[in-house]
Structure 1
Amino acid sequence: MIRMLDIADEMPEAIRVRHFTYELLALDHRTQVIDVGCGTGLAAAEMSRTASQTIALDPDQLMVQTASSRWPELDVRRGVAEHLPLSEGSVTAYRSDKVFHMLADPGRAVAEAHRVLAPGGRIVLVGQDWDGIMIDAADAGLSRAIVQARADSIPSPRAARRYRSLLLDGGFAEVAVQGFLGALIHPSMVNIAIGFAQAAASTGAVTASEAQNFIRDQQQRAAQDRFSVGLPVWVAAATR
């Protein structure tokens, strides 16, 4: 997982989107920012070069340990988006990337973001739309079924397309959204497609035979440098 995250972080589209989020946050030497769902800590470390205070937060202990070891100067904490370990109005910027789809109630996380942000503070949300993932495959119908099954296994697979409504409902102003398309083409990313197929077979959404046919197709594409997955990404920004 960490290796795939590292590869994804170095993709040109990922770098462009990541740095775009920093612009949207209007980071400067006075900024106090929290990165919710920091993963390995790369974004938090990059923001810390500009911000006066950077807090990296993640619910997964392995990610907390990885971020702490890679960026020992960072303030890395374990915690969840719905219950932030911060006082009211204590930060001026809030960033969360690839988190809200894993929450049963994204609205609670938005309410927490509103609570900890000072008036005039900025929030930026980034996430993929799991219903819209596109996998180049020999059997398009099977590919759609597998993607749908994976989306159905996630608590809030369509949270990203709801960002604008979530932020408006949460009391934020100046809400703006923008879409990007990430292209996953590195051969190691085939493990994502394999995982999708295995999950779909385990729930009965596709048969074991269909899953194996899909996996063989994807493995062959990866071996021939023909693997390709399109990942729709939403970026939303707003002001407290």
Structure 2
Amino acid sequence: MNAFADVDRSGRGPELLRYLDDAHRGLSDPKNVMRAGLAVEPGQSVLDLGCGAGHELVELESAGRRAFGVDSSSVMLEASRLRLQNHGLAVRLVHADAHGLPFADEAFAGCRIERVLQHVRDPAAVLAEAHRVLRPGGGLAVLEPDWASLALASADTEAARLVAEAVGSHIPHRRIGRDLRRLLIQAGFTDVRTETELVVYSSVAELSHVISLERAAHVASTGAPIARERIEALLREQRALSESGAFHATFQRCVIAWARRPE
């Protein structure tokens, strides 16, 4: 089950909130890059579409922007409300589906979407809504992973490929990072530019903060065209490489895209 697609019904609200706290710390650098590239002036309104636990609402409000948060989860909106209140900041929160935003056309100077499109039913429809509520010349910033980008160094390249392909298999749009430019252009945005953060991991433990090889191996071994024993051997190999200092994996953890609604 993809818990982030329906947080309130998942029954995992506290766990998901802790995950977002950890992710906020772990992704501080790309978040800063994303925010700086949005280039919304103090006093202007910014929509955080899929605001989650409100970490970025605090950052935007503290920098003088008028931040509005939208989320489909009551659990997340309550966490955002408490976070903003604890910082003595304005609370502007709306419970809504990203596919149909309850805002007038051209209502915002900027919009940010972080790790949301991978979970929604129709990313193109969400981007169309973001385009609608942005003013002409308004800026959009999007950050998504590319779960399909994991690459493992292994003597068994086929087993490594199958395990990598199982990463994020429960996520509706696991390749969304590599699709951002196309989706933004098709939604009518211009001045599209992207940056990719390729992370190199040198141990299984380091990678496990983002990706569980054990979970991916379990998924890959179900109905795999190669023997389960090869998948298990791959896991043993990867642990041995990690212990000896020879482990190597790469992953496009963040693809950041910026765009504008045409004047």
TM class by shorter chain equals 0.7 to 0.9
Deviation readout 1:39-93 (Å, 9 max, x if unpaired)? 2221221111124311122233433333233333432333332122222111111
TM-score, normalization: structure 2?
0.74
TM-score, normalization: structure 1?
0.80
Shift of 1:175: 1.2
Shift of 1:176: 1.1
**Runs of at least 5 residues in structure 2 that lack an aligned partner in the other structure:** 1-15
Sequence identity (%): 25
Name the structure 2 match of 1:9: 24
Deviation readout 1:22-44 (Å, 9 max, x if unpaired)? 11111322221111222222122
Deviation readout 1:125-166 (Å, 9 max, x if unpaired)? 111112102356785533321221335543222222121121
Letter aligned with residue 29 of structure 2? R
How well do the aligned residues superpose, as a CA RMSD in angstroms?
A: 3.2
Name the structure 1 match of 2:66: 53
Which of 214-223 and 94-103 deviates more? 214-223
Structure-2 change in CA distance of 1:236 and 1:214 (3 Å): same
Map 1:124-135; keep pairs closer than 5 Å: 124-135=141-152
**Is 1:112 the equivalent of 2:129?**
yes
Letter aligned with residue 65 of structure 1? E
Which of 124-133 and 63-72 deviates more? 63-72
**Is 1:143 the equivalent of 2:160?**
yes
Aligned residues: 238
Deviation readout 1:167-217 (Å, 9 max, x if unpaired)? 111111111111112457648627733333344445657776666666667
**Is 1:87 the equivalent of 2:104?**
yes
Does the 8 A contact of 1:132 with 1:231 survive in 2?
A: yes
Indicate the SS of the match to 2:51. coil
Name the structure 2 match of 1:238: 259
**Is 1:30 the equivalent of 2:47?**
no
Rg larger in structure:
2
**Runs of at least 5 residues in structure 1 that lack an aligned partner in the other structure:** none
Equivalents in 2 of 1:80, 1:62: separation in Å?
Answer: 14
Name the structure 1 match of 2:7: none
Tell me which of 81, 102, 105 is aligned to 2:119.
Answer: 102
